[in-house]
A = this chain, B = another copy of it.
Amino acid sequence: MSITRRSVLAAAPAATLGGSALAQTQPQAQTPGQAGEQPAFYRYRIGDIEVTAIHDGIGRRPLEGLVRNAPLDEVKKAMEERFLPTDVLPITFTPLVLRTGGRTVVVDTGNGDSGAPTAGRFIPGLRAAGIDPKDVNTVVISHFHGDHINGLRLKDGTWVYPNAEILVPAPEWAFWMSDERMNQAPDAMKGAFQNVRRVFGPVAKDVKQYEAGKEVAPGVAALAAHGHTPGHMGFTVGSGRDGMMIVSDITNHPALFVRNPDWAAVFDMDADQARQTRRRILDQAAADRTRLAFFHAPFPATGHVVKDGNRYEFVPIQWGVG
């Protein structure tokens, strides 16, 4: 054991400077990569329903311009309060797999190979969790943004779930598959319309549309949560006395949009409707102490919300306990 006074003094002041804000990658031959890169999944139960949250990874979005109706300084302050970067928002993607009534059901598919290099890890995560994409019976899509649908089809055209029925929100389908809507859309939005056609075009006749209030899998019912997109859906999951709400994209990162439910992310297509939906669902969940699964909360992206004046706080579950 080599102990020197100098090295102790050198180590001590450094410890007061705070941790690094971003994980860094240093692949090592004999070890898996960073925690953000290795396949990661978290399994829990809602009654008889087994839920597996799978870490598709993280994308980073410049903070500037991200919130439409708050000054950048306030947004940076909210990030700093949660010890997050103040230049970019690290956005987590968390698709779910449900085993319910003998069926294996994927809810949203992640980025596939179309997202950031630090995302698109759903399939390795799925395999690590012991599930083969061929064995998936149903894929339920909450809405048609790329980070939810691109995992259905790789860039080379490969269809990832050969044996699954594909369920999509009827109002979402009506909006995005409308050529009239596409032609009327601003140029910046045309890519999103085209991507929906790229993913669904070849299977359009087989896709099944669901309406709010309908069951999409045993114990899983669609919940209207429009605003983020015109047909955006959440889901109630119920089994026996246990329940949960899958709230999809009613918020982006909780540090910003659960804390400040009136803030509007640029991703929300109808900001007012999205805010009303967010308020309504968070209010009910806080009052009822309902467990929630977010798509964009930090992995494993499940917990509860508590009301705090006019704001909310996200309380993640304890790993291995909830």
**With A23-B44, A129-B31, A130-B31 known to touch, is A17 a contact of B321 (CB < 8 Å)?**
no
Decide: B58 and A45 in contact? CB cutoff 8 A. no
Alpha-carbon gap, A255 to B101, bound state (A):
36
Distance in angstroms from A125 CB to nearest chain B CB is 12
Instruction: Tell yes or no: A295 within 8 A of B by CB.
Output: no
Instruction: Tell yes or no: A304 within 8 A of B by CB.
Output: yes
Alpha-carbon gap, A320 to B18, bound state (A):
17
Decide: B32 and A130 in contact? CB cutoff 8 A. yes
Instruction: Tell yes or no: A87 within 8 A of B by CB.
Output: no
Which chain B residues border A2 with CB–CB below 8 Å?
Answer: 215
Indicate how many identical chains form the complex.
2
**Closest B residue to A239 using CB positions:** B14
Decide: B19 and A320 in contact? CB cutoff 8 A. no
Which chain B residues border A284 with CB–CB below 8 Å?
Answer: 16
Instruction: Tell yes or no: A240 within 8 A of B by CB.
Output: yes
Instruction: Tell yes or no: A193 within 8 A of B by CB.
Output: no
- Which of the four size classes fits the interface of chain A? 35 or more
**With A1-B208, A210-B1, A216-B1 known to touch, is A18 a contact of B289 (CB < 8 Å)?**
yes
Which chain B residues border A12 with CB–CB below 8 Å?
Answer: 221, 236, 238
Within 284-320 of A, Cβ neighbours of B (below 8 Å) are at 284, 288-291, 298-300, 302-304, 306, 315-320
Instruction: Tell yes or no: A188 within 8 A of B by CB.
Output: no
Option from B4, B11, B28, B46 in Cβ contact (under 8 Å) with A236: B11
Which chain B residues border A300 with CB–CB below 8 Å?
Answer: 35, 319
Instruction: Tell yes or no: A83 within 8 A of B by CB.
Output: yes
Alpha-carbon gap, A309 to B65, bound state (A):
33
Alpha-carbon gap, A243 to B14, bound state (A):
5
Alpha-carbon gap, A216 to B11, bound state (A):
11
Instruction: Tell yes or no: A220 within 8 A of B by CB.
Output: yes
Alpha-carbon gap, A7 to B144, bound state (A):
26
Instruction: Tell yes or no: A134 within 8 A of B by CB.
Output: no
Decide: B320 and A299 in contact? CB cutoff 8 A. yes
Decide: A15 and B130 in contact? CB cutoff 8 A. no
Known contacts A35-B319, A90-B321; can you find 10 more A-B pairs with CB under 8 A? A1-B216, A14-B236, A17-B242, A19-B46, A22-B322, A23-B45, A23-B322, A55-B320, A83-B322, A92-B319
Residues on A facing B (Cβ under 8 Å) = 1-4, 7-8, 10-24, 26, 28, 30-38, 40-47, 50, 55, 57-58, 81-85, 90, 92, 118, 128-131, 165, 167, 208, 210, 213-216, 218-221, 236-245, 284, 288-291, 298-300, 302-304, 306, 315-322
